[in-house]
Structure 1
Amino acid sequence: MKVDLKKELDDYRARPGEFRFLDLPPRRYLAVDGHGDPNTAPEYAAALGALYPAAYAVKALARAELDRDHVVPPLEALWWADDMERFTTARDKSQWSWTVLLLVPDWVPDELVSRALERVGRKRPRPAALDAVRLLGLAEGRCVQTLHVGPYDDEGPVLARLHDEVVPEAGMRPTGKHHEIYLSDPRRVDSARLRTILRQPVEPVEPVAPVAPVAVAT
């Protein structure tokens, strides 16, 4: 049977208007790092041009050698900026940094991933960004996530509510990088119907211990 991780894992469950806290186990991803506007930066297109062939090579080897088939999971990405205001409010995409991700199933060993990358490297034309593809372990732990329906550029108010209301009211603070999971293919789905999981790792706010008074000699 072909396993569809999008349907199997709790990671991919979210509803619009609902902010859900969950604890995620460590995951492994095929990953490529970059910087700049994903709509215009050649670096972003090159990253996807290497990431997908790698993921399909992993799928093919796993099916042939492990007798386990899976649907290539949806594209994901980590996003950040030196000034997060440029991400959450100003949406200055030229200042964004990113890591694009495709999940590797738990049953696939690291050694098989390495051989899959070697297989892609022997193909012609060779993906320009293949050498940038790496296997990334991500341990996000406690997270809060919700589902945004609509254009990517309309995420700002949802992110503001998540960061300014939901997380502080739960006694938490953001940690790690903003994480998005793209459940829709923007080439085939109207922008008004795009479904994107917005995820933020969080940690408890540690209470500040009271400072004991110190006697000062006079």
Structure 2
Amino acid sequence: MKHEWRKKEKQLYLPPAKPEIVTIPPFQFFTIKGSGNPNDPAFGEYIEALYAASYAIRMSYKKGLQPAGFFEYTVYPLEGVWDLSVEAKKHYDGTIDKDELVFNLMIRQPEFVSDEFAHQAIVWAKQKKANPIIEQLQFEEIAEGHCVQMMHLGSYDTEPESFETMEAFCAQNNLRRKAKNHREIYISDPRKVAPDKLKTVLRFEVE
């Protein structure tokens, strides 16, 4: 049976629109780091690179090249860990200049994907897409651990309202945010969904 994360991993990807505590186990991802405004056209090349490698794995069975343990699944959603550049942090006054953002974008991969097969998928992606950024893809395991998360409903520009709610929840539950960076998981496709209907999981690590 096809593994569909929307149905089988709801706690991770479809949380309620209010803060909750969750423990995230280690997962493996294709990742790619960059900086700058996510509204710039060049940002799309990072996303294209991640999906090219992810779909190379997903569709490998059609050529009989799938790895041992392969099962059919829905490709996981795009995620991003966001922070400010070192220089931006020095003069941060509560407002964010998107040109000064740094990011680590990623797409989770199933547990049957080995290091060797992941790197083979990157080779296939480079053969199919003339995107030089594919060269920058990494395959790594990431463990988030103890976190607070919630579903943000609406435009990306209104996320600060949800973060305020999450910070208040932490204060009420004697939790401390470990760092000012945060993770976003993009459940909706902004090319197809109106800004006020977007669903984005917001998450940060706590202790």
Name the TM tier (shorter chain). 0.7 to 0.9
**Distance in 1 separating the partners of 2:195 and 2:44:** 19
Q: Does the 8 Å contact 2:19/2:165 carry over to 1? A: no
Q: Is the 8 A contact 1:78 1:180 kept in 2?
A: yes
Kindly state the Cα deviation for residue 201 of structure 1 after the two structures are TM-superposed. Answer: 0.8
TM-score (norm 1): 0.83
Contact 1:62/1:68, CA 8 A, preserved across alignment: no
TM-score by length of 2: 0.88
Q: Which amino acid aligns with 1:160?
A: E
Whole-angstrom CA distance in 2 between matches of 1:85 and 1:110 = 40
Amino acid at match of 1:55: S
Q: In structure 2, what is the Cα distance between the partners aligned to 1:120 and 1:152?
A: 29
Cα distance in 1 between the residues matched to 2:4 and 2:90: 34
Residue 12 of structure 2 aligns with which residue? Answer: 11
Structure with more relative contact order (C-alpha pairs < 8 Å, separation 6 or more): 2
Structure with max Cα Rg? 1
Summarize the Cα distance change of 1:154–1:178 in structure 2 as closer, same or farther, 3 Å threshold. Answer: same
Q: Distance in 1 between matches of 2:132 and 2:25?
A: 32
Choose which of 102, 109, 116 in structure 1 pairs with 2:107.
102
Extract structure 1 runs of 4+ deviating beyond 6 A: none
Post-superposition shift, 1:86?
5.6
Give the SS at the match of 1:137. strand
Residue 120 of structure 2 corresponds to residue 115 of structure 1: yes
Superposition pairs for residues 23-102 of structure 1, below 5 Å?
Answer: 23-40=23-40, 42=42, 44-61=43-60, 64=64, 65=66, 66=68, 67-81=70-84, 82=86, 83=89, 89-102=94-107
Distance 1:85 1:52, change over 3 A: farther
Report if the CA contact (8 A) 1:32-1:133 is conserved. Answer: yes
Report the alpha carbon displacement of residue 56 of structure 1 after superposing the two structures with TM: 0.2
Q: Residues of 2 paired with 1:196 and 1:71: CA distance? A: 18
**1:162 has 2:170 as partner:** no
Given the alignment of the two structures, is residue 128 of structure 1 paired with residue 127 of structure 2, yes or no?
no
Report the counterpart of residue 21 of structure 1 in structure 2: 21
**Percent identity between the aligned chains?**
28
After superposition, the Cα gap between the structure-2 partners of 1:97 and 1:186, relative to the gap in structure 1 and judged at 3 Å, is same
- C-alpha deviation, 1:161, in angstroms: 2.6
Unaligned 5+ residue runs, structure 2?
Answer: none
Corresponding pairs, count:
198
Task: Tell me the SS of whatever aligns to 1:111.
Answer: helix
Per-residue CA distance 1:7-54 (angstroms, 9 max, x = gap): 2223113111x2110111101111110111100162x22211211111
Verify: 1:189 aligned to 2:193, yes or no: yes
Partner deviation per Cα, 1:68-97 (whole Å, 9 max, x = no partner): 11111111100011439969x523211111
SS in 1 for 2:111: coil
Judge which range, 32-41 or 179-188, deviates more: 32-41
RMSD value over aligned CA atoms?
Answer: 2.1
